[in-house]
Structure 1
Amino acid sequence: MPRRDDIDRLYHTKSWERIRRMALERDKGLCQVCLSRSVYKQGDTVHHKQHARDDVSLFYELDNLETICREHHNKAHPEKMGSKKKVERDDVVKF
C-alpha cells in the first residue's frame, strides 16, 4: 500500500490538475451524490470512488472520479474529520 505522503504528492501535479478539471467539466460542477437524489448542489471536491490508497493505479482515471460537495466528502472520509469510522456508500457496488 502506498504511503500517505506519496499519494499527497500526486495532488500537486499537472496531471491531477488536468484530470480534476475534466471531472468538474464532465459533472458540470454538481455534486453527483446530491444529483442522484434530484438535488442540484455545487460540488467543490473531485473524489476518488475507489480510494487512491487502495489502488493508486486508478488515481488519474476519469471513470474513478466524481464531483461531490463538502458534506458528502466528509461523509465519505469521516477519518479526516477526527473519526476513525469509515462510512460505506449505498450507491457504490463492490466486486
Structure 2
Amino acid sequence: MVSMAKTTKKANPFYLTKEWRQKRQEILERDHYECQECKRQGKVTTRHDQVLEVDHILELQDRPDLAMEDDNLQTLCKRHHNIKHGRYFKFRNKPKKPISPLVNEEWFGN
C-alpha cells in the first residue's frame, strides 16, 4: 500500500519554472505528442487519448545534472508514467460485476 506521504507530497518547484515548461513543450512536440512506451509496444497514445507527461528517464532527484537534457526526457501517457513510478493501482480498472440473471428473475417475480 502507498503511504499518504508519497501521494500528498508537494511538487518539486523545478516543475513550475518557465524553463521547464518550455522544455516540456519542446519534448512533447519532438515526440509528436505520443507516449513513447505505447509506441514501443506498437500502440499509439496521443494527447487526445490521455494526459501526456514528460518523464525524466534517469530520475531528477538522482541526476539533477540531466534535468534539461533532451536525451533524458521522454513523453509518456499518465498510465505508463504511473507504472514506471510504481503508482499504478489495479483496483481502479476493475471491471464491474455483471448482474446475475437469477437476481433479475427473482426481482420481477418470474
Normalised by the length of structure 1, the TM-score is 0.73
C-alpha contact 2:79 2:88 (8 A) present in aligned 1? no
2:21 matches 1:17: yes
2:58 matches 1:75: no
Q: Which residue of 2 aligns with 1:29?
A: 33
More displaced, 19-28 or 34-43? 34-43
- Unmatched runs of 5 consecutive residues or more in structure 2: 1-8, 90-110
Q: Which residue of 2 aligns with 1:39?
A: 43
* Greater RCO, 1 or 2 (C-alpha within 8 Å, sep 6+): 1
Aligned-partner Cα distance in 1 for 2:63–2:77: 23
SS, match of residue 11 in structure 1 = helix
Q: Percent of aligned pairs with the same residue?
A: 34
Q: Please give the root-mean-square deviation of Cα atoms over the aligned residues, in Å.
A: 2.0
C-alpha contact 2:82 2:88 (8 A) present in aligned 1? yes
Alpha-carbon distance, 1:63 to partner: 1.1
Runs of 4+ with deviation above 3 angstroms: none
SS, match of residue 66 in structure 1 = strand
Alignment of 1:3-14 (within 5 A): 8-14=12-18
Q: Which residue of 2 aligns with 1:59?
A: 67
More displaced, 27-36 or 38-47? 38-47
- Give the count of matched residue pairs: 77
Q: Which protein shows a greater Rg?
A: 2
Letter in 1 for 2:42: S
